[in-house]
Amino acid sequence: MLQQEYIGFNSINNLKNILSRHHPLNIFLVSGKNSYEKSGAKAILDVILTNYNVVHFHDFDVNPKLTDIKKGIKIFMKNKCDFVIAVGGGSAIDIAKSINLFAANIEEPIEYIKKGKNIENKGNTLIAIPTTAGSGSEATHFAVIYIDKIKYSLENYFILPDYAIVDPQFTMSLPKSLTASSGIDAFSQAIESCWSINSTKESKKHAKEAIKLTIKYLPKDVGNTSEESREAMAKAAHLAGKAINISKTTACHAISYPITSYFSVPHGHAVALTLAKMLEYNSKVTEKDLLDKRGIDYVRDIIKEISNLIGAKNTEEASKKITNLMKEIGLKTKLSKLGIKTDEDIEIIIKNGFNPDRVKNNPRKLTKKALRKILNSIR
């Protein structure tokens, strides 16, 4: 399925034409609790949606939980909603994707999430409008769902939003901390996409452009926000989303989920914590632990290319640059500074951070012993 995308300042104006094309009777609007108003989206959408019947759902936690999704499905069904608009960060967009999909299929959500039951029906038309520059959720056919602190990833091409409106004006009021964690998420996605064993020519093109934009504009965006930096980072996040939509993420993302679930570290920050060390780890790939069928030379060349895109002469320098970038934008790089101090804490991450699908996408096989070493090196 092809998505129609509108990118740039004032691209939200395309929403009017999309709505007039579809003639929705009952719109299901999903947004963050506070971000909807703070981003400026509410003021603009209130005008555009004046003549439409809108059901507004925003009663959910930051990370998409099954209980919140089921709550949303009931409201969706009760109001016979036939069109979905998601406005917010990755959580709001993922929740909208899940509600829209599950409402169109007869079984309980758990049957599709845990038991892999085949999803037969596409949901209603969905427009995704991000208010952060990070998750790229508006560009993917995945949806993250947490059940009892365990992260599940729903994957189906029915999930991809029909429209993506990436208007940087909605990120202008983002606080520095959120700008940093969402921006570093896009950066991590792009790097992981580059070295993923599922990468293609197209995904690498998107990922490399996202890396270049992030290296140039993320420090400016956090330190001295401008329309230019906001637009560049909005584009970078969308490109990174398009990249992982093809290649999927790898080890850094798998490791990040328990860091978020158990230690409340924001998702993008959690992902980036192991990025520098994982770059070094993947650069030392051997024939024994190689997972990419394209060969050891291919993997080493990709790692070199990533290092060059970051502006480094070698992997060690690239690793330092990633760490320094995190520090420059105000993100802690040591686990102990984030409340992850003991051996028991490390074991919680190892026990819950080995998502088989994500870890096996890494170009070099990651063992629990190797992960323990990586985590202790940044403790």
Mean pLDDT of the 321-343 span: 98
Angle at 280 between CA 274 and CA 284, to 5 degrees: 135
Reference 100, options 84, 116, 89, 112; nearest CA is 84
Decide: 232 and 183 in contact? Cβ < 8 Å: no
HEC per residue, 2-64: CCEEEECCCHHHHHHHHHHHHCCCEEEEEECCCHHHHCCHHHHHHHHCCCCEEEEECCCCCCC
The pLDDT-based confidence of 364 (bands split at 50, 70, 90) is: very high
Q: What is the mean pLDDT of residues 53-76?
A: 94
Residues in the chain: 379
> For the residues 17-33, what does the mean pLDDT come to?
97
Is residue 191 scored above 90 in pLDDT?
A: yes
Q: Does domain 4-170 have CATH number 3.40.50.1970?
A: yes
What is residue 224's predicted lDDT score, i.e. its pLDDT? 84
pLDDT value for 102:
97
Burial of 224 (0-12, 13-18, 19+ CB in 10 A): exposed
DSSP 3-state of 219: helix
What does the pLDDT look like over 171-182, one tens digit per residue? 999 999 999 999
CB-CB neighbours of 22 under 10 Å: 15
CATH number assigned to the domain with residue range 175-377, chosen from the 4 options 1.20.1740.10, 3.50.50.60, 3.30.2130.10, 1.20.1090.10 = 1.20.1090.10
pLDDT tier at 61, thresholds 50, 70, 90: confident
Helices within 172-314 (DSSP H only): 176-195, 201-223, 227-247, 251-263, 267-272, 275-283, 296-310
> Mean per-residue pLDDT for 128-143?
96
pLDDT of residue 318 exceeding 90, the answer is yes
CA proximity to 109, closest of 73, 156, 137, 77 = 73
Asked if 121 contacts 102 with a C-beta cutoff of 8 angstroms, the reply is: no
Q: Is the pLDDT of residue 1 over 70?
A: no
**Which residues, other chains included, contact 85 with Cβ-Cβ below 8 Å and sequence gap of 6+?**
15, 27, 28, 29, 30, 45, 96, 126, 127, 129
| Cα radius of gyration (the chain) | 20
Mean predicted confidence (pLDDT) in 62-75: 94
Domain positions in the chain are 4-170, 175-377
C-alpha triplet 107, 241, 199: angle, nearest 5°: 100
- What gap in Å lies between CA 137 and CA 128, rounded to an integer? 8
Q: For residues 237 and 189, what is the distance between their CA atoms, to the nearest angstrom?
A: 9
pLDDT at 356 over 80: no
Residue 14's identity, in one-letter code, is N
- Predicted confidence at residue 46, as pLDDT, reads 97
Residues whose CB is less than 8 angstroms from the CB of residue 10 and which lie 6 or more positions away in sequence, other chains included: 167, 169
**3-class SS of residue 294:** coil
